Structure 1
Amino acid sequence: NAFTDMTMVVPDKVLSNDNILDVNKSLLNKLVEGGFIVNDTIDERDEFIKSALAIERNDTSFHLIINPTINCNFHCWYCYESHIASKMDNEMIERVRLLIDRIMNDGKSLTISFFGGEPMLYYNEVMMPILKHAYGKSSESKTTFSANMTSNGFLLSEERIKSMKMLNFTGAQITLDGDKDIHNSIRFRHKGDDTFTQIVNNIKLMVKDGMGVTLRINCSKDNMTSIIQIPSYFNELTPEEKKLIRVDLQIVWQDNNRKEIYGYMDNIIKAFSNEGIPSAKMDFRSFCYGDLRNSCMINYNGDIYKCTAVDFANTPRDGYLSTDGEIIWENDSLEKRMSSKFKNPGCRHCRIFPLCHGGCTKQSMMSTDYCMHNFDEEEKDSIVTNRILLNVTSC
């Protein structure tokens, strides 16, 4: 059920009886509870939209994404960002502190996600001062606080992981681009670097310390076969530690071989599943941070964006952070983004509407005839079957 995200497995012999729901009230009740059987008067599309808007308009929490820098220590060929020398200065850190105070003084729970560039380039100068302030303010105001980051994982260490965990740091999204040889040819500081081994070891350190890792794997026609080797690098972990890793397979946006790559992903999912590591392709379990009213991204210079998927050096900002820590939205950018949700008529009648949530609002602002799956019904079939597999293996 795409709306309730429930998967129910019923043996064939049970379904062989045409009158099964008349005699098996337990099965009937479970089908009703899971949303598989609904009253004829219920419009499930409207019910989903209501529930989605309630989540997106939730005023009890705030998601703050921070770029300590847009510079990076790697040079990946597919990256869309302009990596320029940059660093959040002390004045801007103070503005961020004031914003954190505003959020928590309102009683909102706060999640901070560090982004970039590579956020850990300025671990001591930017990340830790912000983390320590947010953690302290959380204790003072008795509000909930947690933090995470999107990182290449190279600059992590056992000492840093333990320090971050003490400040309610819960995990990271870290990328691998294939097995050791392929990854090192793509993600490096200097030619010949073995970044793969260090990153894999750091991922192991995180999960051994109880932190979650979203292992993002960028797929292209050139690295598909090598990705199958990745699960073997984690075979020393315990079953409990492996469950702290969630694999997220994503197609590199420049690669036009989508159908071929998407078809091969099933082999990758099987390889990770056999190792006891949950895996999915294009997983839509959570709502996009960009669609939440109480969310924003602050660049190192105080410019505010609603979305991280931009070239910050060459994209007009959506607003800015004032000297007293207030978010100032420009050109009605927040309301334009929020009002674009669910405006695409094709989405409302799509069978996977509750799984992809109507796609990207940034794209739907530019076109009302947009589908993130290019209206490909076979790709939608694969999304449904993979979602079933993910739900079953996650039980």
Structure 2
Amino acid sequence: NISMSPEVEDAIVTFADKLLSEGKFERFSVQWFGGEPLLGYKTIVRLSERFLELCSIYNIEYFSGITTNGYLLNNRMFQNLVKNCKVTSYQITIDGEQEFHDNQRLLKNGRGSYERILTNLKSMVASPLYYHCTLRFNISRENVKSMENFLQSDGLIFKGDSRFNLAYHNIGDWGQGDRLDDYCVDIPDGDFSYYCSQQAISLGYYIDSPKMMLHNSLNCYANRKHHYMFNVRGVIQSCTVALYRKENIFGSVLTGILNHKKREDWIKGIEYDRCSQCPYVLLCKSGYCPLARINQEKSWERLCRLYRERIQKDFSLFILTKSYNDILDIN
């Protein structure tokens, strides 16, 4: 079931209306994801119209983004999403050149998806509309070289367009689903995301990761007090990865039941006893990832170390982008 029923749509709007009516918010942000969210395109159109109406009633800012594979994102759909649905933020994954992308991202019929996705992206580049698009690259041991080659070939159409930013992520084992014995994608030994980001900057591309730090948004979305996720059946959750973990299921919009105590146990604030003296606490807020925290409660030192390393690398990338201003004040 890839589209929501009218009952679930109505219940989500009612939930949002009740939340916004409290008058605590200046901004209402909606993110569409899947599976592939554009398979439920009509749901996106209907709910966007109703969300925009709520924001008009309560006089607050509306922001919307989508994580999509880009295969269905033709020019007509893209134009409607930006102009009428106000979906102005996009994350689209490309896993290197066509050979490697199609090796990892096949259609049900076994054919590759690269060519059509690139065609849709070219239409976005040609559009004068204002939006932001993050091109996400998932790095395995097999496709690092292909990532490099992409920047010198098909990727050139995005170079110099400030609407497009690149984001590199090492693949990982998130424990969701089985892998075949002959599965040919291996987790890299080192942090190739940092290496690829450095290379992209040196070639004149825009990079996403330093902006995350500057906007103080490193804290995991699933760890935020006023973040809610709804699946097509109306189940209220928080994390988009731990879909089947009981800790991540808090109630249903259809029944109107929300287990607040369970959500409080999932969402942790700053742990002052442990973190108050850390120089990075205001960036991470002790909230790297609820799922990681649950899985590795006894090894939080490792999480802290990994997070400090990430922040330090993002600072380095920020300096490499030269997107800062130096002011020498002499009295």
TM over 0.5: yes
CA distance in 1, matches of 2:53, 2:81: 14
CA distance in 2, matches of 1:295, 1:311: 15
CA distance in 2, matches of 1:137, 1:97: 9
Q: Does 1:277 align with 2:198?
A: no
Alpha-carbon contact 2:230-2:236 (below 8 Å) kept: yes
Deviation at 1:128, TM superposition (A): 0.8
Q: Does 1:179 align with 2:108?
A: no
Q: What is the one-letter code of the residue matched to 1:217? A: F
Alpha-carbon contact 2:105-2:112 (below 8 Å) kept: no
Deviation at 1:288, TM superposition (A): 2.0
Q: CA deviation digits over 1:229-272, x for unaligned, max 9?
A: 22232323462x2x2222222121138855x331x444422332
With 212-221 and 280-289 compared, the bigger mean Cα shift is at 280-289
SS state at 1:369 partner: helix
Q: Does 1:229 align with 2:149?
A: yes
Deviation at 1:98, TM superposition (A): 1.4
Partner of 1:319: 250
Q: What is the one-letter code of the residue matched to 1:127? A: I
CA distance in 2, matches of 1:190, 1:341: 43
With 175-184 and 136-145 compared, the bigger mean Cα shift is at 136-145
Higher relative contact order (CA 8 A, sep 6+): 1
Partner of 1:138: 55
CA distance in 2, matches of 1:371, 1:337: 19
Partner of 1:244: 163
Q: CA deviation digits over 1:133-163, x for unaligned, max 9?
A: 1122322332211211111111111111111
SS state at 2:80 partner: helix
CA distance in 2, matches of 1:92, 1:178: 38
Alpha-carbon contact 1:278-1:390 (below 8 Å) kept: no
Q: Does 1:220 align with 2:125?
A: no
CA distance in 1, matches of 2:227, 2:111: 37
TM-score by length of 1: 0.66
Report how many residues are paired.
300
CA distance in 1, matches of 2:309, 2:113: 37
Partner of 2:32: 114
Q: CA deviation digits over 1:268-291, x for unaligned, max 9?
A: 223322443223669852132212
1:230–1:346 Cα change, 3 Å: farther
SS state at 2:142 partner: coil
TM-score by length of 2: 0.78
CA distance in 2, matches of 1:368, 1:354: 22
Alpha-carbon contact 1:303-1:320 (below 8 Å) kept: yes
Structure-to-structure mapping, 1:1-395, within 5 angstroms: 85-107=1-23, 108=25, 109-124=27-42, 126-166=43-83, 167-190=85-108, 193-207=111-125, 208=127, 209-231=129-151, 232-237=153-158, 239=160, 241=161, 243-254=162-173, 258=188, 260-262=189-191, 264-279=192-207, 285=213, 286=217, 287-312=219-244, 315=246, 317-323=248-254, 326=256, 328-330=257-259, 332-338=261-267, 340-343=268-271, 352-358=280-286, 359-365=288-294, 367-371=297-301, 373=303, 375=305, 380=308, 383-393=311-321, 395=323
1:204–1:333 Cα change, 3 Å: farther
Q: What is the one-letter code of the residue matched to 1:251? A: N
1:163–1:382 Cα change, 3 Å: closer
Deviation at 1:343, TM superposition (A): 3.3
CA distance in 2, matches of 1:387, 1:256: 28
Deviation at 1:188, TM superposition (A): 1.6
In structure 1, runs of 5+ residues without a counterpart are 1-84
CA RMSD of aligned residues (A): 3.1
Alpha-carbon contact 1:176-1:215 (below 8 Å) kept: yes
SS state at 2:157 partner: coil
CA distance in 2, matches of 1:222, 1:113: 31
Alpha-carbon contact 1:220-1:261 (below 8 Å) kept: no
CA distance in 2, matches of 1:284, 1:144: 20
CA distance in 1, matches of 2:12, 2:53: 14
SS state at 1:279 partner: coil
**Which structure's CA Rg is the greater one?**
1
CA distance in 2, matches of 1:110, 1:354: 23
Q: What is the one-letter code of the residue matched to 2:138? A: N
Alpha-carbon contact 1:280-1:387 (below 8 Å) kept: no
CA distance in 2, matches of 1:246, 1:389: 13
1:123–1:333 Cα change, 3 Å: same
1:292–1:315 Cα change, 3 Å: same
Alpha-carbon contact 2:275-2:281 (below 8 Å) kept: yes
